[in-house]
Structure 1
Amino acid sequence: MAAKTTRKTFATIVAEQEATILAEAPKLLAEIEQARELITTRGEEREEAEDRLSDILGAFKRGDASHSAADLAEARAAVERAELLTTGQRAKADRLTKAAPQTDKRLAEMVAESVSKVVPYAAEVIPSFVRPAEAPEYLLTGPIVVITQDAPAKERDGKFGAGITIRSFRLPHFQQIDARDLEEDFKARGWFIPSDRIYQNTERHDSFMVDVVRVQELVAYASTPVIAKDPTESDVNPVIGTLSNEMVRAFPIQGDVMAGVSFQPGNGASSEFVSVKPRNRRFKVTKTGAERRTVVEVEYEVRGENANVSEGAALTAAMVGLNSMPGKFFAGVGVVEKVSTFDLKTPSPNYLGARVELVSLAG
């Protein structure tokens, strides 16, 4: 009896493509490094040729005829040769760099979490640095979504930015992926699209369809971002300022409260109804293995700025604002994991002790 053949998942096929590229990458990177090093060598050769020509010309100007016309012609040719080789070597290094494979998929892996939520009916969600060489053969159980990161991510303070292309391979009767749903989920995670450029189209093939969503640039962060350095006071100030702002915004009124809010990053915020001012602040950083925790504690003065706003109502709004902080990302610090209050040494009806705990991984 013939052995039953197990069908490869499309994730396995994509992984095999990636493995082939990764196996070749070290050799290509070595070639790029060698090409870049040779730029320096060519530059030194050019300087030597220029010095030689300068010496000959200087000798002639002093009336020294010890160099022949052939020497002069040879020196000028050597300079021209060195200049052309230097320019050519730079171009060669640039060509090799552009041709080098892109092997970063960290941002694609983050986006896969969002896609899995937005497209729960997908059979497979595959983050990758390659565009599949061929379409999946088996689509009966649901769409297969491949998220391709288009370039190495630009990384700063725990954020990653790069272009992303999402391809959903599906049979016609399966639901189309919707870029608006993805964009909404990105925003809910605190991610943003700097240019607001997100495009969608559907390609129709003989037996299947491909929904393509292209994000020119997406800036995102992991649920526990990797941040190289411990946060400083200037890194922590936006946490304090944002919390002040959230406390003021949380006061329930009709209309747009933000239209009348005065806000200073790292400081307080106020509207015609409520003011929130940080009076005392401190933060502490602790590490357990690779995990870093930053605890920010602030004593806020919270006041109603209108005769119709009681202190109790202002403090209630402040608590709502505090509880809206979890999940927010702060560059150089991390993601807010939880919030709480703490007792003040000198209790006051107008003061609130707010504690914000942020988590990150030490890079």
Structure 2
Amino acid sequence: MSESDLKTVLVVDDEPVNISVLSGTLRNQYRVIVAKSGKQALERIEQVIIPDIILLDIMMPEMDGYEVCRILKAKPETKDIPIVFVSAMSDHQDEEKGLSLGAMDYISKPLSPSIVLARVQNILQFKEAQRALESQNKQLEQKVVERTQEVFLTQNVTIHALASLAETRDNETGNHIRRTQHYVKTLATKLMADGHHLDELNDENIDLLFRSAPLHDIGKVGIPDHILLKPGKLDVDEFEIMKTHAQLGAQALAVANDAVGESDTSFLRFAREIAECHHEKWDGSGYPKGLKGEDIPISGRIMALADVYDALISERIYKPAFSHEKAKGIILDGREKHFDPKVVDAFLATELAFIEIAEQFKD
């Protein structure tokens, strides 16, 4: 093994005999650098090389070993160098002080070469194992990050695949799912900023709402074509069947949620709420359960306004596209009837963002 492959030991002592003993003990297995004072030791480290381990005398003129240790432990580039105090001060309090400053070991003089060698070997082996463990942990952390990204991507692909499936069965949707997705995020972010529903609305959950919003009409895949694709207005019986899409979507997402064992904060939980509750109304006149007021999950209340707004500004077989101002007026008329008043307030405060989203993702 060449000298460049050897671990480096810095020996710091003001007594030549101690330097000689330590150097003689270690030089066959390690590269040994010596310093005769604390100041010289710091210079060696700064100008020559950062050692793998330091054997440090305590009682030295000008700067004792304790001070050298304090300085080294205070610097990011040297704080992890293992320090072993080598001293004739054998009192337990001296040893305790050295260890409290961050030293890894304490060897008392007179020196036993075999003990010195064994301590140095043990410490360097420990540090090597520690570095290996840290490297393994970083690799595991990277794998976790990669796996998390993979899960995130899989969720998004699944969401959009399912949403696209529903879209293919409804010739009126167009960019509806993209617009409503951004409306939902805009409303939720404003509600959070105003201090509303902070038990539900935070950055993480708003992201989940944004990602799960495209599944609000997934239940339409279970509606017969002659009803879903009917060019005219639905009759009473047909509309009753159409309304079942909310429950059909919620049931499908509940099965998926149970199958993967998602937690209560999962995107599937929000997707299920949105699918089931986006046609509920603040006054209790909505469907499928006739929920009223705060009994409607906030996700459903937000989706309700986003969905209605987009339906109003979009052209349909049975109606032309309404202007933003006309849609706004209809939503204001629905305040405290169809819509949660706080959600309406959030809409009014962000209506410019709604206009921009509608333009960005227009059909």
TM-score (norm 2): 0.23
Tell me which protein shows more strand as a share of its residues: 1
Q: Which has the larger radius of gyration?
A: 2
* Structure with the bigger percentage of helix: 2
